[in-house]
Amino acid sequence: MKLITNHIFSFYIILLAIITFNLQLLTAQIVPIYLNDDFSDWDTNDGISDEAEDAAGIDFLHLTASNDADNLLLFIEAANTFKLTESNNIYLYIDTDNDVATGNNTSIPGSDLVVRLGNVSGTFYPATGGSNYLSWQGLQLRSFPTFTNNRFEMAIGRNIMADGNTVFNHATIKITVVNAAPNGDQIPNEGSEFLYTFSDENLPTYTPITFGKTDVNHLRIMSYNTLLNGILNPSQSVSMGKIIQATQPDIITFNECWDVSSAQARNFMNDQIPLGTLAGWYAVKADQGNITVSRYPLIQSWAILSERRLTATLIDLPNNIYQTDIMVINAHLKCCGDGNTQRQEEADAFARFILNLKDNSIGVDIPANTPFILSGDLNLVGDGQQYQTLVTGDIVFSSIYGNGAPLDWDNSDLADARPLNADLPMAYTWRSSGENFVPGRLDYHIYSDSAMDLAKAFVIQTEIMPASRLAAYNLNASDTQNASDHLPVVSDFALALMPGVSAPNLVQAAAKVLVQPNPFKEQLQIDLNTFIPAKTSTLQLQNTTGTIVWQQVLSASETNQTIQLSTSHLPSGIYFLVLINGNVKEVVKVVKR
């Protein structure tokens, strides 16, 4: 009897081990997940793994999940490269109520939500019967990256509805990914299950990114695809101007300026942000669609590839502040999935230009370690090799563009700023509700991180900003949507400063006081970013006759503060914000619309 009992006990131990092996249960991780093509934040999520097999086509290796307050987050890794949201037969099966008796039982039993990743749509099968179609908008689907890769991350809305039915109505769900091609792979394998349990305990909250610089000496670069000459279209340019006023960039790379001249772009910027100098803004258009504008003089420009949208400009940064100038490459690479060959040529041409820059063969002697940045709409929606070329210098068409080599000055890869949305932990820079493409990251800042450091990077999407943040920056919820289908990308860089130059000692108007927006209307935001008050310090707003229309005495406790000045009572015109700090007076010109 004792022997039989021991055998039964051993049987149940073995059975429990088999069940444990085949049933993977994962609960939410407290590590924040940022959807920005950087997969390192998934490292702490165990998920489920599958050994490499001889599956036809895509061979899945790893699947894991997480969540935030609004989304189910998924990570998929394969042994080979593919495109997640186009030209595949990959299906995502989710048992949303953890009940095998409900849902669509034709493939994976119990699957209430079936997502067809290849054509970015889905079907929900409610427990009451029937089915409901869901577009990618209805799924709230987001995926990264947009090009072929072997790793992907995606989000599906947790609170989505289908014809009045709640899709995710249970804390624990079952997830299966299947390549429905003949002899295709699936993860987990048949006979195994991957369960995930949502959790809202101890989840990190996303802190919105403020628009102001953290140091006035940082160089701010913006990329903006203006959508079909948006600078010339008042229905777009008004909103675009407000965004530019709110961010106060130093350099902007505009794309899709097909019929816009450099003079028109320059005048546009002089209207948005008057510099109070005789020259005003500088602008250059050396190809058919890109315009680079700068607060600082332009030394020389190069059309990197004839008949293509790829222009490099050497910009003369102030010698009393920076030890170096900067090379800005404004790029709008060939569009769309059928543009792979041309886009690869453009990537190769960029790599060759940088390699020539490093060996002093572009016709101008550029000092070593001069920082450079590739900025613009790169349209990386096809072969992932194009991204690799831009970052690593791996040239494909070597018979035309020569052998590739590492691009940075220290012979390392270039860096990708990977800016997140200022109000959302995702990095898409393009979205259009009217097209069958999910929002994606198309606009990039790729830079020489051996020569400059990234201080801040963000993407602006006013549609999702709360009212309080919109008001602080004099923006409307519809501004980014009105302006373009692309979102503005902003990056701040720390460059080597001249000896003795530091934020509180720099004698220039913007060293201690940053005002935005400028021009302003109802409110003026004054940031005392690096202000160190003397015993007697006063901040004044004067009109052109010298009359003081507002004044505030500043104390030592007011360092690094932000002042919101209501200006609705002031007439339109030019004003001067004057900081009197001991024996030093600094003046910033501002304009009331």
Longest dimension (CA), the chain: 108
Backbone angles phi, psi at 491, to 5 degrees: -135, 135
DSSP 8-state class, residue 486: B
Please state, in angstroms and rounded to a whole number, the distance separating the CA atoms of residues 155 and 117: 12
> Same domain for 98 and 235?
no
Residue 206 domain flag: no
CA neighbor of 459 nearest in space, from 425, 491, 420, 433: 420
> Same domain for 249 and 182?
no
> Same domain for 521 and 494?
no
Other CB atoms closer than 10 Å to residue 448's CB: what's the count? 25
> Same domain for 341 and 367?
yes
Tokens 């940075």 correspond to what residue?
Answer: 408
Q: Can you read off the two tokens belonging to residue 215?
A: 């140091």
Q: Among the three residues 456, 479, 501, which one is the final residue of a domain in this structure?
A: 501
> Same domain for 582 and 460?
no
Tokens 């070593």 correspond to what residue?
Answer: 368
Residues whose CB falls within 8 Å of the CB of residue 106, separated by 6 or more in sequence, listed in order: none
Residue 171 domain flag: yes
Q: Among the three residues 501, 525, 555, which one is the final residue of a domain in this structure?
A: 501
Residue 207 domain flag: no
> Same domain for 179 and 325?
no
Residue 265 contacts residue 501 (beta carbons within 8 Å): no
Looking at this protein, which amino acid is placed at residue 367? P
Domain that holds residue 16: 2-197
Residue 351 domain flag: yes
> Same domain for 26 and 99?
yes
> Same domain for 533 and 477?
no
CA neighbor of 480 nearest in space, from 432, 425, 523, 424: 432
> Same domain for 235 and 307?
yes
Looking at this protein, which amino acid is placed at residue 474? N
Residue 528 domain flag: yes
Please state, in angstroms and rounded to a whole number, the distance separating the CA atoms of residues 221 and 330: 11
Q: Can you read off the two tokens belonging to residue 335?
A: 């569009």
Return the CATH number at 583. 2.60.40.3080
Q: Among the three residues 143, 166, 197, which one is the final residue of a domain in this structure?
A: 197
Residue 273 contacts residue 243 (beta carbons within 8 Å): no
Residue 209 domain flag: no
Distance of CA 248 to the CA centre of its chain: 18
CA neighbor of 137 nearest in space, from 426, 461, 439: 439
> Same domain for 105 and 186?
yes
> Same domain for 328 and 437?
yes
> Same domain for 562 and 458?
no
Please state, in angstroms and rounded to a whole number, the distance separating the CA atoms of residues 561 and 527: 6
The number of distinct structural domains making up the chain is 3
Residue 205 domain flag: no
CA neighbor of 454 nearest in space, from 427, 419, 430: 419
Return the CATH number at 92. 2.60.40
Give pLDDT tens digits along the chain (593 positions).
433 444 444 444 444 444 444 555 666 556 899 999 999 999 878 899 988 876 778 999 999 999 999 999 999 999 999 999 999 999 999 999 999 999 987 789 999 999 999 999 999 999 999 999 999 999 999 999 999 999 999 999 999 999 999 999 999 999 999 999 888 999 999 889 999 999 988 888 899 999 999 998 999 999 999 999 999 999 999 999 999 999 999 999 999 999 999 999 999 999 999 998 889 999 999 999 999 999 999 999 999 999 999 999 999 999 889 999 999 999 999 999 899 999 999 999 999 999 999 999 998 889 999 999 999 999 999 999 999 999 999 999 999 999 999 999 999 999 999 999 999 999 999 999 889 999 999 999 999 999 999 999 999 999 999 999 999 999 999 999 999 999 999 999 999 998 877 543 333 333 457 788 888 888 888 887 655 555 567 888 988 677 889 988 877 655 567 888 999 899 887 788 888 776 566 777 787 87
Residue 537 domain flag: yes
Q: b/e for 29-39, b at 16 or more Cβ within 10 A? A: beeebbbbbeb
